[in-house]
Structure 1
Amino acid sequence: MKQNKLKRIFALVVAATISATVLVGCGDDSKKSETDEQVLTYNLGADSKTLDPALNAAVDGGIVLSNAFEGLCRTDENDKAIAGGAESWTISDDQLTYTFKLREDAKWSNGDAVTAHDYEYAWKRVLNPATGAEYAYQMYYIEGAEAYNTGSGSEDAVGVKALDDYTLEVKLHAPTSYFLELTAFPCYFPVNKKVVEADSEWATKVDTYVSNGPFKMTEWNLKDSLVFVRNDNYYNKDEVKLDKLVMKMVTDETSAFATFKAGDFDMIDVVPTSEIEAGLKDGTFVTYPNLGTYFLVVNTTGENASDDVKKALSDKKVRQALNLAIDRDSIVKNVTKGGQIPAYSYVPEGIPGADDKDFASKEYFKSSGDVDAAKKLLEEAGYKDGEGFPTITLLYNQEGAHGDVMQAIADMWKKNLGINVSLSQQEWKVFQQTREDKNYQIARHGWVGDYVDPMTFLDMWTSTSSLNYSGFASEEYDNLIESAIKETDATKRDELMHQAEDILMDEMPAIPIYYYTQTKGIQPYVKDVRVSPLGFIYFDKAYIDGK
């Protein structure tokens, strides 16, 4: 590899794994005036599809949940597990049985005690087929979980059991080195069994939105804002400095930026591309590592498409041609302008392998593209110079600058392959459902790791994964992933995952575009917000100083 790329990889590995979270500002808490109410207004930039821990599958919802709820573990500045709802735990010698001792002072925001029964209920609720949780597969590490979720096993056989009010036993079907980190992920959050069973719509109303984290909801203004206050029933409430956290839902980044400049927003999640250079220069914008890949997902089944589109997109040579016709270097340089790294694989840079080198060590394609090879593949598929190729629709959500990226890709396909592309956009909530229903041809997608391991990018493409929106199915791929999950030798495990990615990048149900960074607008008086490369933002230690 060229020296500049090696430096880039090293920098991201250090940022995303050795120091995988970043503190925004730092300062002495004694500077904060005790008479001033601590209020932070943050523009989330989205109206989340759901705020139910079992049903959420988006980063925006995950940010909300991670400040309202808390799992058995939390994560530290390196995204490693530390004590959360559980004050301690033991692991059996065979690494299959975890016994968690819960904090007896942990309470729900309504004053109820948080018990092991709440965790058992919440986890089995995620796995219950009737719940329809997209993230149910993330619990397949648990003994009996996959069988229950797929209808071939019983709830009683799931390896999660409350031994008493404050002891939870979890049995895995194979050793999982990152299982403790998984317990800090939103789908593993507990829910108040009594509240949820009493009202199936509990997660849509302020009065019933009972949580166990540092903040509790007090207002929900549809399509406008969520208002949280410090949860006085939180066991660690004395460490929470904010009195109020307001999460706004302004989806237009230009409008959000104007409000930020006016001083009415203290932090914005997304910034206009045109303002990035100036914002980074004057210090109001900060770019953080983001362990994720921005990509296109292809509906390989042809479901809900005409016969000619189905024929084209079900041919892997067509998908390979589409991939090679994209100049990612140009997109990153001229369109996104946020320090993103042009992709050359699906698993992004920033995850160390068993050999301590970056797992993303294989260049599957040139980030600048290969137009000649793309033309040849398209000709082999029966569409020389694009003749006879149907017009395809490229779908994206309207929030953010996705339209600019999609337009650039459409122009490249037209220029390089002679393919006509129709662009279509939808509001975020609608778009997510459309993609999930496979009611699209090619769509924008993106994935940020749930934990620092290649598996978080690979297991979503198994044939049984509810997050596999492409319809891609490969028995060989499924077997490799299953073998990797069970493999305890780190080197062999990496080899299996590399073989799986080889299949993924040959079949191309996903066309990687770039590896994410995250540039956010943060006023200088905002201190100690933690921005994780996994996409979450934590406000439990944040405060305002000098506004």
Structure 2
Amino acid sequence: MQTKKLLAATLSSVMALGVAAGCTTTSSDEGTSSTAPSASPGASTAASTAPSAKGAVINTYINGEIPTMDPGLAKSTSSSWSLDHVFEGLFFQDKDGLVPGQAKDVKISEDGLTYTFTLKDNLKWSNGDPLTAADFEYSWKRVLDPAFASEYAYQIGDYIKGGTEYNRADPKKLSAEEMNKLRDAVGVKATDDKTLVVNLVNPTAYFKQLVSFYTYYPVNKKVVEANPKWANEAATLVGNGPFTVKEWSKDKKMVAVKNENYYDKAKITATQITWNNITDDNTAWQMYTTGELNVYQSVTPAAIETAKKSGELIVSPKLATYFYRFNVTKPPFNNVKVRKALTMAIQRQPIIDNITKTGQTPAFAFVSPGIIMAGKDFRTGDAATQTYFKEDAAEAKKLLDEGLKELGLTAFPKTELTYNTNEGHKKIAEAIQEMWKKNLGVEVTLGNVESKVWTDKQSKLDYQVIRTGWIGDYLDPMTYIDMFVTGGGNNNTGWSNKQYDELVAAAKKEQNEAKRIQQFRDAEKILMDEMPIMPIYFYTSANAIKKDITGVYTPANREMSFRYAVTK
């Protein structure tokens, strides 16, 4: 209780943290109260479309620079939010759930190994070029090209026949002819302009969800090969989604307008979307209250009551987890007892009650709620595996002492806890810093970096403890569990476990749902037993939308979609 009172006294007016990856590693966070009507499981919508409505002009913001608009290189929600509007995959997350996008339909072989996608008629790129099945083949193989160095290549390579072999080949050791043979052997082929045949390594029940993810988005081969920097400027950026980029000044804003070459343009109501680059959430909130912004992503805790009273607060579930990573290659974090001690020594509910204030759930596991398997939520379907550890300061102190002794240390070494610049992340870090000092006698310093540096630090293991988050890319536990396989592009902890790798590989092949569930549970238990990460809470998504804007919807694993936004 003392900790909770202290937090309440010192941290009650802080910012919320916006989820911002993708899909991915997240950079920014959320809210709670009046929940928007749900259009379907996993999606929420702000309101129904008014009969007299007109196309909306959306003004919102992203906390930090959009690092890239190349779908093959993107790895955070700072990119994915805009990518989801400017590009489109074979399927996409509509307000009523997963629906065909660029695909007209798909036929799946009886053994589940071959997917034959037929594209819609008359598809075009935003510059008017025809879009064909060959664009998808080229784009997926481009991501797999080892020279391209996509961190998300495994999202394609792990599933498509020959993908991993090509992606992991060493061009320095193989001839150009050998590399071309590996490329040609990848199981994705355009058999004509409208037919894409995909051969999988194993039957994958969620493959249609996978192809809705931005790594699977197509790029225009002619544009890409003519200009390697095509995705860096508005003037050269070519997409295939419902919107196209009109303006992009990286440190200021991105402006997208309706794409007149989009196949379903008649249904797209929003006429313009502006993502302003605003790194201070208080400034953004002030702009929202004065009307300069009409959509505010991730309402700050200090503003929740105001948004609630105005009737503008929209809360929806979020397939996402807020957590800290430990760099297990650096002492003392190479000792599991030390990692467990730090994880068990904090109290999560006071952080939620006094900092985030948006109805999050304390996380004692990694996979978030919201994934249904065998008719039950994976997280709550089995009481025995809802939690894998407990908060226990006394046990944590004992484990810390044992761990330091095993390392030959007499005191906890100098340590920095890194977070990406955001007032909410700062306040959570301060709270955890305080709890570690009080419960363990451990003193750490805090360091904040901008989002791009923060992302790079994780990729390069250039940290000791770092704040992060993860939004599920698709509605299956694999979107969480395969992150931490040995050498995985999003592992970013240095952790490796052979048995864990084997369980993940087995779950990717397994067709029996009960067996898959058990494999996921066994893998998650290993992850939590060895604790290369410290789960803190499961997200919700809380946004503020002006009352005259309707038609906005939020899939559980995406940010807000403005496709059908209208103004009364």
Give yes or no for contact 2:379–2:386 (8 Å, CA) kept in 1.
Answer: no
Q: Distance in 2 between matches of 1:202 and 1:502?
A: 44
Which of residues 50, 53, 58 is equivalent to 1:32?
53
Of the structure 1 ranges 88-97 and 273-282, higher mean CA displacement relative to structure 2 is found in: 273-282
CA distance in 2, matches of 1:537, 1:394: 30
TM-score using structure 1 length: 0.91
The equivalent residue for 2:94 is: 76
Once the two structures are superposed, the pairs formed by residues 83-482 of structure 1 within 5 Å of their partners are 83-139=100-156, 140-151=158-169, 154-302=182-330, 310=331, 312-354=332-374, 356-360=376-380, 361=382, 362-365=385-388, 369-382=391-404, 387-482=410-505
Q: Equivalents in 2 of 1:427, 1:463: separation in Å?
A: 28
Root mean square deviation of aligned Cα:
1.9
Question: 42-51 or 518-527, which moves further after superposition?
Answer: 42-51
Q: TM-score, normalized by length of structure 2?
A: 0.88
CA contact 2:312–2:545 (8 Å) conserved in 1: yes
| Separation in structure 1 between the aligned mates of residue 452 and residue 350 of structure 2, nearest angstrom | 30
The answer to whether the Cα contact below 8 Å between 2:388 and 2:525 also exists between their aligned partners in 1 is: no
| Further displaced range: 261-270 or 144-153 | 144-153
Deviation string 1:105-151 (CA, Å, 9 cap, x unpaired) is: 11000000111111001101111111111111111111111111111
Separation in structure 2 between the aligned mates of residue 87 and residue 382 of structure 1, nearest angstrom: 59
Distance 2:423 2:83 in 1: 22
The answer to whether the 8 Å contact 1:72/1:86 transfers is yes
Paired letter, 1:75: Q
More RCO (CA 8 Å, sep 6+): 2
Seen in structure 2, the aligned counterparts of structure 1 residues 364 and 15 have a Cα distance that, compared at 3 Å, is farther
For residue 315 of structure 1, what is the amino acid of its counterpart? N
Counterpart in 2 of 1:55?
73
Secondary structure at the aligned position of 1:191 is classed as coil
Q: Is the 8 A contact 2:554 2:560 kept in 1?
A: yes
Match of 1:306 in 2: none
Q: How does 1:2-41 map to 2 (within 5 A)?
A: 19-28=41-50, 30-32=51-53, 38-41=56-59
Task: Say which SS state the counterpart of residue 373 (structure 2) adopts.
Answer: coil
- Segments of 5+ residues of structure 1 without an aligned counterpart are 1-10, 303-309
2:319 is paired with a residue whose SS is: strand
Number of the residue aligned with 2:23: none
User: Matched residue of 1:254: which SS?
Assistant: helix
| Offset, 1:215 | 0.3
Contact 2:119 / 2:195 at 8 angstroms: preserved in 1? Answer: yes
Task: Work out whether residues 254 and 271 of structure 1, in 8 Å CA contact, stay in contact via their aligned partners in 2.
Answer: no
Instruction: Deviation per CA, 1:127-179: give whole Å up to 9, x if none.
Output: 11111111111111111111111117711111001101111110001111110
Structure 2 CA distance for aligned equivalents of residues 353 and 100 of structure 1 = 26
Structure 1 residue 355, shift from structure 2 partner = 5.2
Q: Distance in 2 between matches of 1:269 and 1:468?
A: 27
Taking the aligned partners of 2:201 and 2:309, their CA distance within structure 1 comes to 51
CA distance in 1, matches of 2:38, 2:480: 15
Deviation at 1:428, TM superposition (A): 0.7
| Matching residue of 1:514 | 537
* Cα distance between partner residues in 1 of 2:253 and 2:234: 12
Q: Greater CA deviation, 345-354 or 514-523? A: 345-354
Instruction: Give, in angstroms, the shift of residue 64 of structure 1.
Output: 0.3
- CA offsets per residue over residues 56-88 of structure 1, 9 Å max, x none? 1111211100000111112233533x1110111
CA shift digits 1:6-37 (9 cap, x unpaired): xxxxx9xx999962111111123x4035xxx7
Q: State the distance in 1 between where 2:321 and 2:389 align.
A: 16
Amino acid at match of 1:341: T
Cα distance, 1:181 vs. partner?
1.1
Structure 2 unaligned spans of 5+:
1-32, 171-178
Is the 8 Å Cα contact of residues 363 and 536 (structure 2) preserved in structure 1? yes
Q: Give the letter aligned to residue 286 of structure 1.
A: I
Q: 1:489 aligns with which of 486, 497, 512?
A: 512
Whole-Å Cα distance in 1 between the matches of residues 211 and 389 of structure 2?
37
Check 1:446–1:357 CA distance in 2 against 1; reply closer, same or farther (3 A cut): closer
Count of residues in correspondence between the two structures: 518
